[in-house]
A and B are shown apart, each in its own frame.
Chain A
Amino acid sequence: MRAAILLALVTIPALLLQTTILPLIAIGNATPDLLLIICVYLGLHLHSIAGAVGAFALGYLQDTFSGGTIGLNAFAMCLVFTVVYLTSRRLWVDNAVSKIVVVFLASLLKTTVILMLVALFVSVKGLGQSMLGYLIPEALLAAVFTPAVFALLARTQVLTVTEEE
């Protein structure tokens, strides 16, 4: 329940930002993927089935608001969650820099997975080249926004815990 409240509190404003304001300040075509940062947070801090379902829900929401095939972002988000979850069980990911690096790598993973899945489903000339063009800018933007989003998520988590107590 706490996880669902935390997700809703942060995801809805993040999605609103991503569909209204952030496209206006896009660098080239690249915009910061706020939902991906939330997904990484879930992989690092919510080691439960709720975390996995949350990651799926984040991807599904992105699918709903984008013109692509339903399920592509859901798949990529689930994969990012799983990889981050496994990483955090084996590596110590606790300081700010390591979290930024994890988000950067997660963004690269997500875009690459989507690129591979899109290539499986449709044949679009130049799609790979185009997506590779904003692979790095997207990952960099996500990394820049990581400290703020993580701080907000941590604060929201504290609030929801206090409320339930």
Chain B
Amino acid sequence: MLDFFRRNRVLVASAGLLLLSLLLSVGARGGRRDPVAGVVLELMRPLQLAVTGAVDAATGLWRSYIALVGVTRENELLRRRIRELEQQLVHGAEMQLAEQRLDQLLRFRSTFAGDSIAAQIIGRDPLPWSRTVTINKGANDGIGKNAAVLSNQGVVGQTIANSSNAARVLLITDHNSGVDAIIQRSRAHGIVKGALDGGCVMKYLDREASVETGDLVVTSGLDGIFPKGIVIGEVTEVNPGTRGLLKEAEIRPSAPLAQLEEVLIVTRPAVEEMQ
């Protein structure tokens, strides 16, 4: 018996680890917290921050280089001067854009009560079938789990894990996401879930509810996470369905989730904004 285990120790270890993985999955579905995830997130945060910074710098340099293509060798000195100016311009433009974005975030922040904090996106999901991002603020900044994450253009998602100085955000386009929502015009109620094409689907709409293409979808505030009245997106198609009492609508998110660089996290929602 012992000899069998010794001869097949790799296979026995693999079988044990396969079982452990399944148990972890079942435990995770049961809502058990993963203690290692926070530590790993925290350890990787400075590295992710550094790489993202380096990529941004490299992109800036590349843009500067492209802008200078075509200038002749005879004008080397002039070209150097132009490069310096170009870099300053790119830097200035980046600063101006960042300032504009932050200013928009601040103005958006003042539209609802409660506490919120701005954060930078430092990493994206490594797998194509789930949609999460990592931000550079965590428990030390008052960010817990299930905090609403917004941009000035609309709802972004909610935090699902945090460490001291970083947190992971589940985007509204992920299939695990769900946001309680209403159609702004008709006040029809439903749940906005992530679809696999990068958009969202509003489910559980009453079959008789008035929903039209172009209708604006906003948060209802009923889920206790998102403040009431924040824009989620716009109805692009209504699927009446052939059976049952319910129908669904396809939603295009208002926030440009793939291009976002800064977000706002609601650390303490105002009680009156929650239903």
Contact = CB atoms under 8 A, between A and B. Distances in A.
A88 to B, nearest CB: 11
Interface of A is mostly: helix
Contact of A31 (B40, B41, B128, B160): B128
A52 B13 contact: yes
A49 interface: yes
A62 interface: yes
B124 interface: yes
B180 interface: no
B20 interface: yes
Contacts of B131: 67
Contacts of B122: 20
Contacts of B132: 66-67
B126 A56 contact: no
B170 interface: yes
A66 B25 contact: no
Find the residue from B17, B48, B51, B123 having the highest chain A CB count within 10 A. B17
Contacts of A81: 14
Given A53-B17, A74-B24, A75-B22, A130 B129 contact: yes
B96 interface: no
A64 B41 contact: yes
A38 B168 CA distance: 25
Q: Which of A53, A67, A74 has the most CB of B within 10 A?
A: A67
A130 B9 CA distance: 38
B14 A64 contact: no
Contacts of A29: 128-129
Interface stretch (A116-124, A147-155, A156-164): A116-124
A64 to B, nearest CB: 5
B10 A67 contact: no
Given A16-B47, A124-B175, A131-B129, A49 B197 contact: no
A61 B130 contact: no
B201 to A, nearest CB: 8
B14 A78 contact: yes
A130 B176 CA distance: 15
A67 B130 contact: yes
B14 A82 contact: yes
A70 B37 contact: yes
B21 A74 contact: yes
Given A64-B36, A130-B196, A47 B10 contact: yes
Closest 7 CB pairs of A and B: A71-B24, A71-B25, A75-B21, A67-B130, A29-B128, A130-B196, A67-B132
Interface of B: 9-11, 13-15, 17-18, 20-29, 34, 36-37, 40-41, 44, 47-48, 51-52, 55, 122-132, 134, 160, 168, 170-171, 174-176, 195-197
